[in-house]
Structure formats: structure tokens, C-alpha cells
Amino acid sequence: MSSQGDESAEQTSSSVEAPTSAEADPTSGGLITVTIGATVPTGFEHTAAEEVKEKIGVDARISKDRGRIYFPITTDKLSQVHLLCSVDNLFVVVEEYDHYQFKESKEETLNELQELASKLPWTNALEVWRLNRTLKKRKGHRKGGNATRAKSNAESSDVAAAAEGAEGAQPELPQETSPADSGTQAEITADSEMCQQDSQETAAEAKVMKFRVTCNRAGDRHSFSSNEAARDFGGAVQEFFQWKADMTKFDIEVLLNIHNEEVVIGIALTEESLHRRNISHFGPTTLRSTLCYGMLRLCKPQASDVILDPMCGTGAIPLEGAIEFSESFYIAGDNNDMAVNRTVNNICHIQKRRADKGSPSGLPIDTVQWDLSNLPVRTSSVDIIITDMPFGKRMGSRKKNWDLYPSCLREMARVCRPGSGKAVLLTQDKKCFAKAVSRMGGLWRKLHTVWVNVGGLHAGVYLLKRTAAVFGQTPEDVYESRGKGDTQTNERDDKGLD
Ligand SMILES: C[S@@+](CC[C@H](N)C(=O)[O-])C[C@H]1O[C@@H](n2cnc3c(N)ncnc32)[C@H](O)[C@@H]1O
């Protein structure tokens, strides 16, 4: 990491050139090492770092700016980076400054940002951007070259871009197989066609490259706005490379991330967040797959575990589980028929995608319509319950939560195995949740809380352990049993004791 005024950064600047068709193919040269930056769900930075270590074998650094991690890779690992399940957006770092000394006045600061554009060591980052684009196109071509993106109303990222742009029109990134998996004749033909297309596009690119600069700024001691920084730095980038600015149809997106005195300049490697990877049928509160993945890792699914999402909505959590932790079995339920339909559609969509690729299409997941307060499930038969509860804002109401949460926790305690069962529950209604847990007569013990940001709301992911206490013996359970009718509850308990 450099500090401001680092001479090595200034020295490399003289050799920086805009990419042209004459530039060497980065895949044919030696490997280069770069730093990759990734935005991840806030609160799950350590989970993401763990995944990077596991899958890429390198240590990730967690940024002071929440929701970001950085890790080094050699270019042969680039396709693996796109298979990480905890990352939302990826970029390659051009340069980073831990303690950028911003000038006092706005004018001086903006002037300095302009000067910076021509001093940055762009070459390696641009090579990685080019290689990344080749990987994406290959993958897109195999899919038929017209992969479309589902527009969603999923929770948006907590990072605000200074300049808004429409989504690019490039195909999706590799999600389940890497380009290294290729080998069939059809694919070889596709690749040679791709090369032709590549060279045509490279020629076009040599004519004019379109770009935009996006500034993400956090901190209250800056004399400038993110718009001003993006505008002035962008102007200097344009002049330096002779690129054309285009806010919507850009080939390349330069990122200027400023968090207090930390400044990172990068080039985006994803046009849209990777969190949309599984969902084609969105609902009003669809959870990001990246957050689902973090929640799943928290409960450490084991082979043959029975895992329930009793309020599954679009099925984002159990679907992520069935794909990434496929040795467990998932049951996705909801009381709303539209939600159940969406889950079924999402499962079918993934199965079809797999079948099209020639992969086994079956997923260890089933769907059911039910009411969580009265599950058609045997007592003590479930290993893990993982769900995203209605916050009482976009879904349900705060008032209803005072009845819903205790009855959910009680029914979850009934079906969950005493002594070993776990629950991972997401809610923003922290007060109601804490009260409901405290009134569960010791059936649940809180082990850990991860604070997350869900669409701008500060929420908690609670890891609970089912204690060894027997269900139905606390005053609260007895009271609840009376309310529901003793016969029904006793029948279920008897079945569980078989
Ligand atoms: C926050 S949403 C879940 C969103 C889901 N994680 C997703 O990604 O789409 C909560 C869900 O709980 C369901 N729900 C509310 N009360 C319920 C109940 N008593 N039994 C079952 N589901 C219920 C709602 O229909 C809603 O789909």
C-alpha cells in the first residue's frame, strides 16, 4: 500500500499507456499480481475473508471502510474470484493510499485529484480488466451470448455511487464453472468465433473507449462532494487516456473510493452485484444471496442436516444453501402462496440452468406452504432453522411482530433438536426479538450476533442454540398449549418421541 506522494507511484506513471489493439494479450504473457477489492455484506467481512482463504488460498485484509475486503491474486486465479459466494462487487486496485492528506481548500484538493490521474500506475489494473472482459465474453458466448439480467427490487447496496448509470449490456459472469472447464469441440469452435468477435471489438475499442468515474465517499471532513471529485478526477482521466465519457454505455468504470483519509482507485470487474446470482423471481424483500451465504456459514451446515427456512419468501436462503452446502437437505416454507410460487420458480430456474449446462439438475430442497406457528413437522426433528423474519416495515407490522415472534420462536424450539439444534435468524425488530427470546423459558440461548445492513436498515443476524430443555414444560409452553388446544400439541409431541 502506498502513502501519498510515494515515488514508486510517480515513477511508474510515465510508462502508462491507454490500452490499444496493439497491446499484448494479457493471457499470453507471464502472470501478474494485483490486489482485488470486493464489496461484501457489512458485518460479514470476516466470513468473506475466510472464504477467500479457503477457495483462493490467500489472506484478505479487511478495510476500515466497512463492507470491503482486499486480497492479492495472480491473474491465473481471476476466474476463481468470480466464484466467491460472499462478494457483491469486484474491482482491481490501481492504487491505494492509507492516509491521503487532503488539502484544506476544495479547489486545491480537486486540483490534486486531477493531477493524480496521470501519475497512477494503471498498466496492470488495465490488463486485468481486459483479461476479465475476455473471461466474461467467453462465458456469455457459451450461454448463447444473450444472457440477460433480472431487474430486481432486491435490497440495494449501502454504497452510494456519485454518478448513476444504467446497467451495462454485457453478458453475465461465470457463476458455476470456470473458463478452465472447457474442452468440448463445440466450445473450441465457440472460442475461435469469440476471438474473431474479440478482435473486431478490440479494433472498435482502439477507436474510442467509453468510461465513467464513480466516486463513493464516506467521511465528514471532506471539503468536496463525491460528484465534484468524480467530475474533476474523471475529466483528468479523460484527458490522459483520450477516452470518451459516457455515464450509461461505458466500457470501463473507474472507481474512486474515499473513506475518511483512505483513498482507493480501482477499475470495476463486475457490472452488477454478484448477489443476484440465484434469483430470477424477486419478491418485495428478497435477501441478497451474499448475505444468505454469510448466514448459512454462521450455522455450519453438516452432511445430512435437515435445514428449515420456515418464512422463505422467494427461497433465497434455502436455495443458496442447496447450491453451496448441498450435503444438507432444505425445506422452504411460507404462508403466502405467492411467495411459495416464487420459490418454486426460482428452484426450477436454477435446475434448468444446470440442465442446460449438462450438470446434474437435482437440488436437495423441497417447498411447502405452511403457517410457522403450526408446522407439520415432527418435534425435535430439525437440525437448523435459518430465516429472515418480517421486520415489520416492508413486510408485516411492528405491532403484529409482538405476537408473531414469540409464537415463531416457540414453534421453532419444538421442532429443533434439543442440545444440538441451531437457529440463525435475521431481524431488524431487535427490541421485539430480544424480548421474545428472553421469554422462551430457556429453550434458546443466544450465542452470537452479527450486525448487518439490509437495504440501509441496521439489522441483527442472531445465532441461537437450542438448549437441552424439553419442550412443553415451561410455563410459557403450557400457556401456549392451552391457547392452541392441548390435544393437537400432545399428538405432535407423542410423534416426536417415537
Ligand atoms: C422478510 S420475508 C422473507 C424474505 C426471504 N428471505 C427472501 O429472500 O425472499 C418474510 C416472509 O415471512 C412470511 N411469513 C410471515 N408470517 C408467516 C407465518 N406465520 N408463517 C409462514 N410464513 C410467514 C412472509 O410471507 C414473508 O414471505
Residue 163 CB partners (closer than 8 Å, separation 6+) = 212, 213, 214, 215, 227, 230, 247
pLDDT at residue 342 in the model? 98
**Quick one: pLDDT at residue 479?**
52
Q: How far is the CA of 453 from the centre of ligand 1 (A)?
A: 19
Question: Residues of the chain whose pLDDT is less than 50?
Answer: 1-28, 141-195, 481-498
pLDDT at 273: 80
Tell whether 173 and 90 lie within a shared domain: yes
Q: Distance, CA 319 to ligand 1 centroid (Å)? A: 15
- Residue 283 CA to residue 360 CA, distance in Å, equals 27
pLDDT the model gives residue 182: 30
- SS3 state of residue 159: coil
> Where is 463: in which H helix or E strand?
strand 457-466
Q: What is the pLDDT of residue 253?
A: 97
Residue 269 is part of a domain; what is its CATH number? 3.30.2130.30
Identify the CA nearest to 311 among candidates 336, 276, 282.
336
**Pocket lining: 42 vs ligand 1, CB cutoff 6 Å:** no
What is the distance between the alpha carbons of residues 103 and 91, in angstroms, rounded to a whole number?
A: 27
Domain with residue 349: its CATH number is 3.40.50.150
Do 232 and 328 sit in the same domain of this protein? no
> Could you identify the atom of ligand 1 that is nearest to the CA of residue 387?
6
| pTM score, whole prediction | 0.79
Residue after which a domain boundary falls, among 275, 298, 317: 275
> Is 204 within a domain?
yes
Per-residue pLDDT tens over the stretch 283-338: 999 999 999 999 999 999 999 999 999 999 999 999 999 999 999 999 999 999 99
Strand duo 33-39 + 68-74: pairing: antiparallel
Task: Give the atom of ligand 1 at the shortest distance from the alpha carbon of 342.
Answer: 9
Q: Domain check: are 266 and 324 in the same one?
A: no
| pLDDT attached to residue 137 | 75
Nearest atom in ligand 1 to 283's CA: 9
Select from 478, 433, 435, 477 the least CA-distant residue to 459.
Answer: 433
pLDDT given at position 203? 57
Beta-bridged to residue 254, according to DSSP, are 213, 267
Number of domain units in the chain: 2
Classify residue 2: in a domain, yes or no. no
- How far does residue 12's CA lie from ligand 1's centre (Å)? 54
401 Cβ below 6 A of ligand 1: no
Cα 314 to averaged position of ligand 1 atoms, centre (Å): 9
Phi, psi of 264 (to 5 degrees): -130, 125
For 122, the domain range is 7-275
CB 159 within 8 A of CB 39: yes
Is 1 among the domain residues?
A: no
Predicted local confidence at residue 419, as pLDDT:
97
Which DSSP letter does residue 432 get? H
Domain co-membership, 189 together with 329: no
| End-to-end CA, the chain | 62
Considering the domain architecture, whether residues 340 and 236 belong to the same structural domain is answered as no
What is the pLDDT at residue 269? 97
